[in-house]
Amino acid sequence: MPEAKSYRIKEAFYTLQGEGAQQGRPAVFCRFSKCNLWNGREADRETAVCNFCDTDFVGTDGQNGGVFANAEQLARHLSELWPVADAIQKFVVCTGGEPLLQLDTELVEALHQKGFEVAVETNGTLPVPDGIDWLCVSPKGSASVVVTQCDELKLVFPQDNARPEQFDHMVAQHYFLSPKASPHMPPGTDLMKETHTRQALSYCLQHPKWRLSMQMHKILGID
């Protein structure tokens, strides 16, 4: 019999989805370790395909992180983080790193068995397993995007190698621009005076297909 696949998780926690079309919705966030567009080492950031990442996805040592021997074990772990009765719609956001390096149909099914609606936030460079309930694609840098259809396209803006016009062929229910976090932007910065926010806002006003998505969790200072 083939050995069951294990899963490496950096951290997992219960919070509110902070951005996009599901903003404000309670969710278990599951951050998968590793990304295919940067190895997570500061020394290699400059030469990485994606070089503005503000997420620690290396290893398995975060809150509720670890190595899970199979899909059932991870699904049970995530289900235990959901604090309210099962009758309430359970929602899990699989993020990273790049979750599609690990997330497979078996895990999606195990999460469904636990009553979860399954959302994924991916850079769009890898094939998507069957059964995903909500797909958010966020293209990064010059990486080729293979996904052409999704529920939301969320583009960090501005990016020299990933401009909104390059994704005109993609079919989505929602199109969002998310202002790129400026390096060393201290908490409490007046976002209306922040350059990327103003640029994103201006682009949306000129191209109404796109909506501005602000990161509520950063504004509120929650996880």
By CB under 6 A, name the binding residues for ligand SF4.
35, 37-38, 50, 53, 55, 57, 96-98, 123, 140
* Active site annotation includes 117: no
- Active-site option among 53, 136, 150, 204: 53
Tokens 């021997």 locate to 69
* Active site annotation includes 55: yes
Smallest separation (angstroms) from ligand SF4 to the CB of 2:
29
Q: Which is nearer to ligand SF4, 81 or 101 (CB)?
A: 101
* Active site annotation includes 50: yes
- Active-site option among 11, 19, 29, 77: 29
Smallest separation (angstroms) from ligand SF4 to the CB of 177:
15
Q: Which is nearer to ligand SF4, 90 or 180 (CB)?
A: 180
Helix H, strand E, coil C: the string for the chain is CCCCCCEEEEEEEEEECCCHHHCCCEEEEEEECCCCCCCCCHHHCCCCCCCCCCCCCCCCCCCCCEEECCHHHHHHHHHHCCCCCCCCCEEEEEECCCHHHCCCHHHHHHHHHCCEEEEEEECCCCCCCCCCCEEEECCCCCCCCCCCEEEEEEEEECCCCCCHHHHCCCEEEEEEEEECCCCCCCCCCCHHHCHHHHHHHHHHHHCCCCEECCCHHHHHCCC
* Active site annotation includes 217: yes
Q: Which is nearer to ligand SF4, 90 or 140 (CB)?
A: 140
* Rounded distance between C-alpha atoms, residue 137 and residue 146, angstroms: 10
Smallest separation (angstroms) from ligand SF4 to the CB of 37:
4
- Active-site option among 30, 50, 94, 150: 50
* Active site annotation includes 196: no
Q: Which is nearer to ligand SF4, 38 or 68 (CB)?
A: 38
- List beta partners, residue 147: none
- Active-site option among 13, 15, 52, 55: 55
Q: Which is nearer to ligand SF4, 82 or 139 (CB)?
A: 139
Cis check: omega of the bond before 139, within 30 degrees of 0: no
Smallest separation (angstroms) from ligand SF4 to the CB of 43:
14
Smallest separation (angstroms) from ligand SF4 to the CB of 35:
3
- Active-site option among 11, 19, 98, 121: 121
* Active site annotation includes 157: no
Q: Are 22 and 119 in contact (CB under 8 A)?
A: yes
Residues annotated as catalytic (active site), given as ranges: 29, 35, 50, 53-55, 121, 217
